[in-house]
Amino acid sequence: MSSLELDKVSVAYGNIQAVHEVSLSVRQGAVVCLLGANGAGKSSLLNAIIGLIPLRGGKISWQGRDMTGTRAFEAVRQGLSLSPEGRRLFPGLTVMENLAMGAYRQTRGDTAVSLERVFGLFPRLKERARQRAGSLSGGEQQMCAIGRAMMSNPSLLLLDEPSLGLAPKVIGDVARAITEINATGVTILIVEQNAKLALRLSEYAYVLETGRVALHGPSKELIDDPHVRAIYLGGVATA
């Protein structure tokens, strides 16, 4: 049974159509990845799901509820959460305050539980709790962004390029955290340019090219797909 369902979703900025009738589904509890070159429309699609951009056409549903037309500030109540591209922390707020913002709609008791969980995932954040988010290193900022997204205790986590600009060691930490989060039952849709990482983490993958789904299938199969290898895995072609 699939839980996130996109049916012919289109997104446009004025006259520029960024996403053309994309349909995809994500099984509850799964990690699914969305691959594609820069400008393919991946971020546009995630932003549309969470309600930051209105749909030009199509339908979105989550756990059987119609989410089409849901506004950004209502999405969190439906269990949706986004760690945006480029982290987009509130730079003038402390780490703690950023996390508190993530729990804006939570009760005090739930916030304490969520905080415990986030500090469990990223112990570094606890050390940095009183520091301004703008002064964190790139890796710490990414942890804070994912941590903030987890503070609302989401059922669907949208991750936009979590590995962007991070050192390999930090990428490993983040990847481990993603796996851990998924292990607690959170459904994850992850956008990545680092296809190798994304395909390793996910069970199913969609490839977006100029706003359209070019290809999709189980991640294990796509790793061996010549087209994917040629374009997204550094051009190492199979014989």
Partner 1 sequence: MGQLLAQILVNGLISGSTYVLVALGFTMISGIMRVLNFAHGEFYMMGAYGVYVLTQYGLGYFPALLIGAIIVGAFGVVMERLIFRWVIGREVNGLIVALGLSVVLKALALIIFGPVELAVTRPVHGTLDLGSVSIPYDRLLVGGCAFGIMLLFYFFLTFTRVGLAMRAVAQDEKIAAIQGVRPSFIHAAAFGLGCLLAGLAGGLMAPIYTVNPTIGELPMGKAFVIVILGGLGSIPGAVVGGLLLGIAESFFSTLIDGTVSAMLVFALVVLVIIVRPQGLMGRSL
Residues in contact with ligand ADP by the rule CB under 6 A: 13, 16, 18, 36, 38-44
Structure tokens at 234: 């550094």
Helix (H, G, I), strand (E, B) or coil at 183: helix
Residue found by looking up tokens 């006259």 in the block: 15
Interaction of residue 219 with Mg ion, rule CB under 5 A: no
Q: Which does 69 bind (CB under 5 to 8 A by kind): ligand ADP, partner 1, Mg ion, none?
A: none
Which x/- pattern over 4-43 shows residues binding partner 1 (rule: CB under 8 A)? Answer: ----------------------------------------
Please state the three-class secondary structure of 14-46 as a single string.
CCEEEEEEEEEEEECCCEEEEEECCCCCHHHHH
Is the CB of residue 114 less than 8 Å from the CB of residue 151? yes
Of the pair 132, 229, the CB lying nearest partner 1 is at: 132
Which x/- pattern over 38-67 shows residues binding partner 1 (rule: CB under 8 A)? Answer: ------------xxx---------------
Stretch that binds partner 1, among 83-91, 168-176, 194-202, 211-219 (CB under 8 A): 83-91
Q: Which does 229 bind (CB under 5 to 8 A by kind): ligand ADP, Mg ion, partner 1, none?
A: none
Alpha helices in 51-194 (DSSP H): 72-75, 95-102, 108-121, 123-127, 138-150, 168-183
Which x/- pattern over 119-148 shows residues binding partner 1 (rule: CB under 8 A)? Answer: -----------------------------x
Alpha-carbon distance 176 to 172, whole Å? 6
Is the CB of residue 32 less than 8 Å from the CB of residue 206? yes
User: Which chain residues interact with Mg ion by CB under 5 A?
Assistant: 43, 85
